[in-house]
Structure 1
Amino acid sequence: MDATELDDLRLATRAFVRDVVIPAEPRPGDRLDPDVRRDLNVQAKAAGVFAPHAPVELGGRGLTIDQWSPVLQEAGYSPIGPSALNCMAPDEGNMHMLELIATPEQQARYLAPLVAGDIRSCFAMTEPHPGAGSDPAGLRTTATRVDGGWRIDGTKRFISGADGAAFAIVMARNDESDAAPAGATMLLVDADTPGMSLGASIHTIDRAIDGGHPFVHFDGCVVPDDAVLGEPGRGFAYAQVRLGPARLTHCMRWLGLARRAQDIALDRVAHRDLFGSPLKDLGVAQALIADSTIDIETSDAIIAKTAALLVSDSRAGSAMSSVAKVHCSEAIHRVIDRAIQLTGGDGVSDGLPLAQYLNEVRPFRIYDGSNETHRWAIARRASSARARAGEPRADVLLEPVE
């Protein structure tokens, strides 16, 4: 898609979200009704804005990663916009991985109906402590080779979208065998497979992800050989194919929500007088607006840089996605928090949606790996890069103090 076509799609998405999606938003704190979602999906298809990231041959718009941000930000201007356009987590990340790794048969069975919006999915990696969380190496769910397939045993928790998902992509640890090296294997598991069951719901402050974040149990769950996604034993490598772009699309969608919060704040300060002058002319309000503008623009820039790297150098892009995730998750939270401050009592009430926006974005500092884990990885990479470069120590370059 060339630049003109991309901008046309961005503007069409903007119009659809503001004219069709926003009027359909549930009250702050409520979840999107599945029937409303289905109706919005139909209207999004008719408007030509459905599944912008997905392959054209399956009904999407075929955008490349470096073209996603302008459109996904417009979708994210409403908390339910990504669901309406079928570019919401975890489905969007699963579509991307299935497009790259799945066999043609798996794509026909799982990817095609997922892109069409006929089904939802989940990605089952996180486990109860001391299992996999921010550190995937803690993976405890097992995939054991059996005659004609694999047996899965273990418990997953906080599996976003699992309630109502048609299938799960399951991360499980496997021992070395003739079929695979020791490591992790990804398996496609239909939700009605014997031995797979939905567990207790986990009630969280966010509401935008369809299907919540429940436990999922695997007790002697047997799947055939053709359920393996990619190659056995390479699950951790495949996870990076998914997680780098998925972190970034969270940044894109929620940056759109930060822009909505800033617009709400700007409307308020333009029409409210305090101490004899419009609020927008008071220095304290101007400082908050300026800082939010800086946070929005720097987030936009780092998203664009990371997306370009993911296209040209996936390894460097995946590393930069940690930087983008930490910066954007914290900057977006600050923007919404300042908008609440500028709107006063209305900001913390359900008269405005800002308090719910804060609830939606706060978990992003935990989801897709805690910010502390990403900071550790960022620092480790920076130190390793400097050591490999063999650069002189900075203190040696300084003039000695007499």
Structure 2
Amino acid sequence: MDFHLPAEVEAYRAKVRAFVGEHILPLEADPSAYDEHDNIRLDRLETVRAKVKAAGLWAPQMPREMGGLGFDQIGMAAAYEEMNRSIFGPACFNCAAPDDGNMYVLNRVATPDQKQRWLKPIVDGAVRSAFVMTEPSPGAGSDPGMMLTRAEPAGNDRWKVTGRKWFITGAEEATHFILIARTSDDARKGLSAFMFHKDQPGWRIIRRIPIMGPEEHGGHCEIEFEGLEIDDKDRLMEVGDGLKLTQIRLGTARLTHCMRWLGLAKRSMEIAIEYAERREGFGIRLADRETVQTMLGDLAYKIEIGRLLTMKAAWKLANGDFARKEVSMAKIHVADTLQEAVDVGIQINGARGYSKDTPLEWIYRYARQARLVDGASEVHKMVLARFYQKERGDFWSWGV
């Protein structure tokens, strides 16, 4: 087992860390840099993105021929952790959800013509995108087999879409959409995937759903399809491959959440130790109190466990494995660790941590979604239990 990063990845990681410290962290302390939804204002985002491109740090997860740097999931894990040292970081490098997952799956499954039309503009940062799958009850949530939105043949090699989706991240700002809809009642091959453009008629955003926040650009929207017509050339993969596409997308997408969350967990600890080392009470620094040291030490090893779980899953993905067990384990542990890290950060900082004088309250609100998005923690535990029932002692086997 080799835990060394490739030299190219380590050099990139160091450059990202320096860039975040110089160009992005200062924006967090500038109230004018925020939009009304507590994210970086779009004009300020574009300014930083131009600097990222000029520094040669743009879209590391995409192939070089598409304008990226060609990193696999191992390189992504190291880089994304550094990007999310700032609450604004991932979007600045074009590595934020949902664009990140959409770029990954389009690069994997789209035809050359589809890549030029639908993928390249996202990679370039010219447009934003959304992944349209989740539905209101009784429709599809964690179980895609419950999907009610339908795409039916409409003649002339076209499909007509009817139904409703919700909590579609980024929809209000998106131009390119990946849609998953039912095309038959087959249990495994009943879903198909399509691309559509925001200017196509036959669909509408019903509302931007208010959430605890902070929000991704474009919010989380409820969408209604009222006869949207999609040309068959804009279908992704084969008819019936929609579930397969979601599995290709979500394995890496779930893990990139973990990569980014580890950055936020480390940042929370960074803010905590910085304050503990200069704050005194009753004649002693907080950092010298055993209770505070225990809190910090507990976090340090839990964050490292999360990094190891995430990197193992990244290694398996990079070597062609779906890494379902490893991704689920990372997702559960890192989501819990992020929430614990920011909670401890707030506790050590006291009222300062509860205020907006640090990013801790922002991270605290954001962290609560970690146990829900891309599969609730309970669903991932159920996945692990099923693997154990099937594999028993082999559940923990080493690859040879």
Answer yes or no: same fold by TM over 0.5: yes
**Alpha-carbon separation, structure 1, partners of 2:61 and 2:213:** 24
1:8 partner amino acid? A
Q: Which residue of 1 aligns with 2:136?
A: 128
**Alpha-carbon separation, structure 2, partners of 1:9 and 1:344:** 36
Q: Which residue of 1 aligns with 2:357?
A: 351
**Alpha-carbon separation, structure 2, partners of 1:4 and 1:319:** 29
RMSD, aligned CA: 1.9
Give me the identity figure in percent: 36
**Alpha-carbon separation, structure 1, partners of 2:158 and 2:394:** 44
Query: CA-to-partner distance for each residue in 1:174-194, whole Å, 9 max, x for gaps?
Result: 1279xxx95100000111111
Matched, 1:367 2:370: no
| Residues 171, 185 of structure 1: 8 Å contact kept | yes
Matched, 1:326 2:332: yes
Matched, 1:174 2:180: no
> Which residue among 15, 19, 44 is the counterpart of 1:12?
15
Gaps of 5+ in 1: 390-402
**Alpha-carbon separation, structure 1, partners of 2:215 and 2:86:** 10
| Residues 74, 311 of structure 2: 8 Å contact kept | yes
| Residues 131, 138 of structure 1: 8 Å contact kept | yes
Q: Which residue of 1 aligns with 2:230?
A: 223
Q: Which residue of 2 aligns with 1:393?
A: none
**Alpha-carbon separation, structure 2, partners of 1:96 and 1:252:** 15
DSSP 3-state at the match of 1:150: strand
Q: Which residue of 1 aligns with 2:220?
A: 213
Over 3 Å counting, the alpha-carbon distance change for 1:102 and 1:272 in structure 2 is: same
DSSP 3-state at the match of 1:77: coil
> Which residue among 225, 241, 261 is the counterpart of 1:254?
261
Which runs of structure 2 are paired with 1:223-302 in the superposition (5 Å)? 223-302=230-309
2:23 partner amino acid? V
**Alpha-carbon separation, structure 2, partners of 1:201 and 1:86:** 23
Q: CA deviation at 1:207?
A: 2.2
Q: CA deviation at 1:387?
A: 8.7
Q: Which residue of 2 aligns with 1:43?
A: 51
1:308 partner amino acid? W
**Alpha-carbon separation, structure 1, partners of 2:6 and 2:164:** 46
DSSP 3-state at the match of 2:177: strand
Q: CA deviation at 1:310?
A: 1.0
Over 3 Å counting, the alpha-carbon distance change for 1:378 and 1:176 in structure 2 is: closer
Query: CA-to-partner distance for each residue in 1:306-365, whole Å, 9 max, x for gaps?
Result: 0011122423x1332111111110111101111111101111111111011011121011
DSSP 3-state at the match of 1:199: strand
**Relative to structure 2, which stretch is displaced further, 141-150 or 29-38?**
29-38
Q: CA deviation at 1:208?
A: 4.7
Matched, 1:153 2:174: no
Which runs of structure 2 are paired with 1:37-186 in the superposition (5 Å)? 37-147=45-155, 148-175=157-184, 182-186=189-193
DSSP 3-state at the match of 1:377: helix
**Alpha-carbon separation, structure 2, partners of 1:58 and 1:129:** 39
2:38 partner amino acid? D
| Residues 206, 363 of structure 1: 8 Å contact kept | no
2:83 partner amino acid? A
**Alpha-carbon separation, structure 1, partners of 2:88 and 2:195:** 27
Q: Which residue of 2 aligns with 1:398?
A: none
| Residues 295, 335 of structure 1: 8 Å contact kept | no
State the structure with more CA Rg.
1
TM superposition score normalised by structure 1:
0.92
**Relative to structure 2, which stretch is displaced further, 338-347 or 18-27?**
18-27
Query: CA-to-partner distance for each residue in 1:25-84, whole Å, 9 max, x for gaps?
Result: 364862221111111111100011111111111211110112111110111111111011
DSSP 3-state at the match of 1:62: coil
| Residues 151, 221 of structure 1: 8 Å contact kept | yes
**Alpha-carbon separation, structure 1, partners of 2:144 and 2:331:** 18
Q: CA deviation at 1:294?
A: 1.2
TM superposition score normalised by structure 2:
0.93
1:381 partner amino acid? F
**Alpha-carbon separation, structure 1, partners of 2:258 and 2:189:** 34
Q: Which residue of 1 aligns with 2:398?
A: none
| Residues 245, 318 of structure 1: 8 Å contact kept | no
| Residues 303, 337 of structure 2: 8 Å contact kept | yes
Gaps of 5+ in 2: 396-400
1:210 partner amino acid? H
